[in-house]
Structure 1
Amino acid sequence: MALFSRRKKSADDAVTDPAETADVDSLDESANDGASESANDHAPTEEAPSIGISVQAFRGVGAQAGPEVSLSESEPAAASPTTPAAPAAAPTGAPVPPVERRLPLASPTPPEQTETVAGMKDNVLLREALTEIEKGATNEQLLGVLRQALQGHLYIRVNGDARAQISEGKPLSVAVVRDGERQFMLGFSSAGAVRDSVQLEKDPTATSAVAQPVTSVFQQVVSGDFAGLIVDNASAPHRVVFPTELLQKTLEQADVDMTVKSLIAAPRQQDSAVKVGEALASTRMWVAVNDGAGTGQVGIAEAQTPDGKRFLQLFSHPLEVIALGRGDRPLPFEPLQLAKLLSSHTDMAGVIIDPAGPTMIVERDALSAVLILAIDLDD
């Protein structure tokens, strides 16, 4: 969690100088979980953007039940082990869209972490996805931004000194944009985006920024009297508006701690694959299923490397399945199901997680925590 405050009165002044950045990691994060129900108004400097995305874009997301599926019914496609974002393996007969997709695909490896304001880390994946957004963006592109927003944190603007409000046990007085009867909470991909937002104010007052887990921010929007969330409001056209209903749907299907997503988005360490394997033993994931273009044969998507190794495709959220644009349906996959599948398919070399990127190959020897589940079941 990080904080900076703007105490200067001139609208021409910068929000903060890097030297003024304060690190408040020692503060009690539990005091930072809620936003004030009576958030202070923040008059928009231009007309509030219209919402260009609907829950209908979540086609089939979150199905809690589905047909019995088996790997034997799916036909793997070739894929490079070094670029697993490429394998769009689909069940037999599934059509593969020929259109090149700029969004929401991302590099297989996580981006380098940056700080547009010293001491305050950016949500780089979200920031980069927003640079691709222009006026008239499609639902698929906007969902791609939402997918990347789920990795890491968002900054929220607070009217006044957030440090003081937290220390006094007060709910944070978050800044909002009003559009008629509707009000929108503001979220930011970086401290630099917060600075740009404050600089638009005609009469700026003391303003601070707090980094919170993205699921916490979404929960504040859903539980509060908000019509939605505006991300990087001063960065038009590279900004997005997500309606509350969409955020609620996203949260319903999400791991609140974003355990696997966070590990995959973080810089790679020698034990990264092992940590992900351990997380898979206790975290619900998703698989992509397809009915084989109406043939009635339902299979789970997998990938095959040029040397013949087979990998199951796993997804940390249904949005990751939609991101590939293959028309597959996300199906929840519990740790025990994964354990049973790997045990019954001994030729399965491991799993590929979130092929749309950032992604990670976790080979079988790093999945011992998962395989133990199947052994315990047999006992």
Structure 2
Amino acid sequence: MALFSRRKKSADDVVADHIETEDSAVDAPEVADAPSEPAEVTPTIGISVQAFRGVGAQAGPEVELPDADAAPAASAPTTAPAPAAPAAPAAEPERKLPLAPAMPPEQTETVAGMKDNVLLRESLKEVEQGATNEQLLGVLRQALQGHMYIRVNGDARAQISEGKPLAVAVVRDGDRQFMLAFSSAAAVRDSVQLEKDPTATSAVAQPVTSVLQQVVSGDFAGLIVDNASAPHRVVFPTELLQKALEQADVDMTVKSLIAAPREQDTAAKVGEALATKRMWVAVNEGNPGGQVGIAEAQTPDGKRFLQLFSHPLEVLALGRGDRPLPFEPLQLAKILSSHIDMAGVIIDPAGPSIVVERDALTSVLILAVDIDD
């Protein structure tokens, strides 16, 4: 858990203390009303919960992979192993937020010693006034990894050490209150500077799922991300966040591995995770003969990769009209064992993404052997 303290100082000295790590800190402290609130911020819900309702079916029909000689269900990577963007130009009006590169971004610190959630920060830069539901869902997609900062009124270290609930900063809009979260320490600093007479403020870095769970379990109407960065800010209703959490891996294991700097064994770790974690596939019904199939990609040399997704929002981000369907490890094992020409899987083609080849999927393939035995 990362902390920094803010005392009444000049505008150039908002972030005072360097980051500290406390392994014993509570991951999901209770939420208390803040004694002060940022001024001149009136949240406006710009996203319809209906845009996300029903995304990710809980059950579905048995689906088949398209034939190897049939047209692939999705655009193939231009080079192996990185996936390419869908065929439609990125500037197309109905396009979602621009697709991220296959490789994770370089980690940066807009305030020294405090790491940004770069994917979230960069996706927020694409949001303008009048952003579409699809664009805002694209921001939520990138928010589902890493950490966020939350503002705490007073000394967060002292509150944690004394076992007190954190006095989390909120924004009120009539009878509604919204929790604040931030993509970077600089965004926290900008929020503090909105106040005419700011009180002592701390920032705490917490896993994204912990932050969202606090909003869902607390008396909040929603979550405002980077409230001082208009128009590059978003407001997510609590119902939307609850739906996203219901369909997410609480540990965000696969998504976190893909979004983190790549190590030599990253693909192997992802392969091991796929043996225990539910994923999603993109189901389409536009194949010849009306066959319902799972989207795959092909490399220029003809290798076939099954497309897997860490969350239903990853399917929506491609803008192809595919339907997300939950996919258990055993289903993946059966597909791979029955299609020996399948070279492996590609996860989250919208980016960051990773190709996991067959030799790194031993833990998954063993599941099919156990069933046969």
Under a length normalisation based on structure 2, what TM-score does the superposition of the two structures give?
0.94
| More deviation, 60-69/156-165 | 60-69
* Deviation string, structure 1 residues 164-195 (Cα, Å, up to 9, x no partner): 11111111110000000100000000011101
Match of 1:79 in 2: 77
Q: 1:209 aligns with which of 203, 208, 217?
A: 203
Q: Using the alignment, how far apart are the partners of 2:27 and 2:347 within structure 1?
A: 31
Alpha carbons of 1:211 and 1:168: their partners in 2 closer, same or farther (altered >3 Å)? same
Please state how far the C-alpha of 1:120 moved relative to its aligned partner: 1.0
Q: Helix, strand or coil: the match of 1:71?
A: coil
Q: 1:191 aligns with which of 177, 185, 192?
A: 185
Query: Structure 2 matches for 1:106-125, cutoff 5 A?
Result: 106-125=100-119
Match of 1:26 in 2: 22
Q: Using the alignment, how far apart are the partners of 1:59 and 1:324 within structure 2?
A: 18
Match of 2:3 in 1: 3
Alpha carbons of 1:322 and 1:280: their partners in 2 closer, same or farther (altered >3 Å)? same
Unaligned runs of 5+ in 2: none
Query: Structure 2 matches for 1:12-23, cutoff 5 A?
Result: 12=11, 14-17=13-16, 20-23=17-20
Alpha carbons of 1:22 and 1:97: their partners in 2 closer, same or farther (altered >3 Å)? closer
Please state how far the C-alpha of 1:81 moved relative to its aligned partner: 3.4
Alpha carbons of 1:60 and 1:102: their partners in 2 closer, same or farther (altered >3 Å)? closer
Under a length normalisation based on structure 1, what TM-score does the superposition of the two structures give?
0.92
Please state how far the C-alpha of 1:75 moved relative to its aligned partner: 3.6
- The sequence identity of aligned pairs, in percent, is 77
Alpha carbons of 1:161 and 1:327: their partners in 2 closer, same or farther (altered >3 Å)? same
Alpha carbons of 1:119 and 1:279: their partners in 2 closer, same or farther (altered >3 Å)? same
Please state how far the C-alpha of 1:22 moved relative to its aligned partner: 3.5
2:327 aligned with 1:328: no
Alpha carbons of 1:98 and 1:232: their partners in 2 closer, same or farther (altered >3 Å)? closer
* Deviation string, structure 1 residues 42-101 (Cα, Å, up to 9, x no partner): 434224131111121126412111111000367414322347442549xxxxx9999373
Unaligned runs of 5+ in 1: 90-94
Alpha carbons of 1:327 and 1:97: their partners in 2 closer, same or farther (altered >3 Å)? farther
Cα-Cα RMSD: 2.1
Q: Using the alignment, how far apart are the partners of 2:77 and 2:107 within structure 1?
A: 28
**Letter matched to residue 24 of structure 2:** D
Alpha carbons of 1:170 and 1:67: their partners in 2 closer, same or farther (altered >3 Å)? same
**Letter matched to residue 81 of structure 1:** T
Alpha carbons of 1:293 and 1:271: their partners in 2 closer, same or farther (altered >3 Å)? closer
Match of 1:92 in 2: none
